[in-house]
Amino acid sequence: MIDISQGDIIKIRGFNRSLFVVTSKNAFIKATGVFHVCPLLKNVSEGPLHILVKGNKGTSGTVICEQVKLIDPSERSCNRADRIPYADIMEVSDVLQGIFEYD
């Protein structure tokens, strides 16, 4: 069973120094067993698609929303490093929804 939730900041095997924020809804994760992530990078400026966040344990960086990736945890092991507050989850989700909305 996957112990990953929306808003978790995770490390993914194979991406040694990189962190990612889980962006998929918990219902999607539970139903499919996979989840979407966006990279969390240091030293990147905020912008319309780049959201500055700070985790509950102090992990900080900028979520790069246009770089969405699908992760299958049965192929790559993942470990939770931190978690972002609900307000940040909402902001990242709003940006992602805006990318995929129709014109």
CB 7 within 8 A of CB 31: no
pLDDT in tens, 27-53: 999 999 999 999 999 999 999 999 999
Q: E strands, 1-103, where?
A: 8-12, 19-22, 35-41, 50-54, 60-64, 69-71, 78-83
Tell me what pLDDT residue 17 has.
Answer: 87
Compute the 3-state secondary structure of the chain and give helix, strand, coil in percent, each to the nearest 5. 20, 35, 45
40 phi and psi angles, rounded to 5 deg: -115, 105
pLDDT band (50, 70, 90) for residue 92: very high
Q: Which domains does the chain have, with CATH numbers?
A: 8-100 (2.30.30.110)
Per-residue pLDDT, averaged over 73-90, amounts to 96
Claim: this prediction has a pTM higher than 0.85: yes
Tokens matching residue 27: 């219902």
